[in-house]
């Protein structure tokens, strides 16, 4: 399965970037031929499409995951005449909507949203549509009333992601108590992982005894885990829904000398890959944050070119372990490193 993911996944992952380069070249060529298309009277018609203007990107918060998303957007815009401005909204729904409104007031021609909540991201996209500005969604949890306002979405099947985690547990762990550290409830992301995980673990002997939000923050995630061990000293399994939280949890497990706890995460960043080579993290449900930004931005670019993009583009996901993580990340990087410097000071 991993080998198949490496080859097929890499091909799909890079298709978006290639489409931008090819599409940009075709537009330039057509512009040269058609810019002065005339009839017998010499009147011009069908002006060339000009790739220029500001694209706005709202990130739901700031960590290495969201920086990876931003590098995907930069990758999509590479070679075009568009510029990018990025803001992060501190996992605050009101800030998410306000940031989008500020971008629209500034005159952006496109908007890319990494949602904080379904409702606030949808409201932002609706305002964009009202001004004729196409909006793309970097992580689509599933159908909602807001879908009509997005031109394209990066579809991540988080129910299947939860199933992958549950199946890994059944295959590799002794049934027992589980602590689940969610991200932000209301995004539709954590809830769907919960759904898939609960489906697989039903009647399996695994019991989720704690399920709380960690807000993608390592300190808050550690607080959830500490309280879980206080209430359940025999806790043997931790499942966290992001690398940003798992990094803090792994450090805490090491500091406490808890090297027999099975710890599983979701997504990946540089620090987490290091922890996966230790006893303090066993696996992750891996997908590329960079790919989500690339997909959403490509949809916006296609719309700006007058094309009708695919609404849903699937994000690849797979369970990765210490033995497979390096090859998987090589095929589908979590960050386009050539843009790393651009995202360090968001």
Tens-place pLDDT, residues 137-165: 999 988 888 999 999 999 999 999 999 99
Better pLDDT: 22 or 19: 19
The number of folded domains in the chain is: 2
CA distance 138 to 114: 5
**Residue 23: pLDDT over 60:** no
Task: Let me know whether 275 and 258 are in one domain.
Answer: yes
pTM of the model: 0.83
CATH code, 226: 3.40.50.2300
Helices in the chain by DSSP H: which ranges? 2-4, 10-34, 64-77, 93-106, 118-130, 158-172, 189-201, 218-231, 243-256, 270-275, 289-304, 325-331
Task: Let me know whether 280 and 292 are in one domain.
Answer: no
Task: Let me know whether 111 and 133 are in one domain.
Answer: yes
Task: Let me know whether 135 and 61 are in one domain.
Answer: yes
Torsion of CA 145, 148, 149, 151, to 10 degrees: 140
pLDDT (0 to 100) of residue 10: 43
Task: Let me know whether 320 and 331 are in one domain.
Answer: yes
Task: Let me know whether 272 and 321 are in one domain.
Answer: no
The two three-digit tokens of residue 189, written as one number:
């992301």
Contacts of 99 (CB under 8 A, 6+ apart): 56, 58, 87, 89, 124
Given a contact cutoff of 8 angstroms between Cβ atoms, the answer to whether 90 and 312 are in contact is no
CA distance 229 to 177: 10
Q: Which domain holds residue 320?
A: 2-156+288-343
CA 197, 319, 273 angle in degrees (round to 5)? 115
Task: Let me know whether 112 and 203 are in one domain.
Answer: no
Pairing of strands 318-321, 283-286: antiparallel
SS3 328: helix
Q: Which of 50, 59, 19, 12 is nearest to 32 (CA)?
A: 50
pLDDT (0 to 100) of residue 33: 33
Task: Let me know whether 123 and 254 are in one domain.
Answer: no
pLDDT (0 to 100) of residue 174: 97
Per residue in 255-282, pLDDT tens?
999 999 999 999 999 999 999 999 999 9
Mean pLDDT of the chain: 88
pLDDT (0 to 100) of residue 142: 82
pLDDT (0 to 100) of residue 186: 83
Task: Let me know whether 97 and 217 are in one domain.
Answer: no
């Amino acid at each position: 399965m991993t080998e198949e993911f490496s080859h097929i996944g890499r091909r799909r992952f890079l298709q978006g970037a290639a489409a931008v380069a090819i599409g940009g070249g075709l537009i330039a060529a057509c512009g040269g031929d058609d810019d002065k298309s005339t009839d017998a009277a010499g009147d011009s018609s069908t002006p060339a499409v000009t790739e220029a203007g500001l694209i706005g990107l709202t990130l739901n918060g700031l960590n290495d995951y969201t920086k990876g998303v931003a590098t995907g957007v930069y990758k999509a815009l590479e070679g075009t005449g568009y510029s990018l401005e990025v803001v992060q909204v501190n996992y605050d729904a009101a800030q998410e909507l306000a940031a989008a409104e500020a971008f629209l007031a500034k005159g952006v021609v496109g908007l890319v949203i990494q949602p904080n909540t379904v409702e606030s991201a949808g409201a932002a996209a609706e305002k964009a549509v009202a001004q004729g500005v196409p909006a793309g969604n970097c992580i689509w949890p599933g159908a909602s009333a807001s879908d009509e306002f997005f031109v394209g979405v990066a579809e991540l099947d988080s129910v299947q992601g939860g199933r992958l985690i549950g199946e890994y547990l059944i295959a590799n762990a002794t049934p027992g108590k589980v602590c689940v550290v969610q991200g932000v409830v209301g995004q539709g992301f954590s809830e769907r992982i919960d759904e898939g995980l609960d489906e697989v673990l039903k009647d399996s002997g695994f019991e989720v005894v704690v399920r709380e939000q960690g807000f993608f923050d390592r300190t808050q995630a550690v607080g959830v885990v500490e309280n879980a061990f206080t209430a359940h000293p025999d806790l043997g399994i931790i499942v966290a829904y992001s690398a940003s939280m798992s990094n803090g949890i792994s450090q805490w497990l090491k500091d406490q000398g808890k090297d027999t706890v099975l710890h599983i995460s979701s997504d990946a960043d540089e620090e987490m890959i290091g922890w996966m080579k230790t006893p303090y993290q066993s696996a992750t449900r891996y997908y590329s944050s960079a790919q989500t930004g690339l997909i959403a931005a490509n949809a916006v670019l296609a719309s700006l070119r007058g094309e009708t993009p695919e609404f849903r583009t699937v994000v690849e996901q797979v369970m990765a372990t210490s033995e497979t993580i390096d090859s998987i990340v090589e095929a589908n990087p979590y960050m386009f490193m050539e843009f790393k410097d651009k995202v360090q000071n968001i």
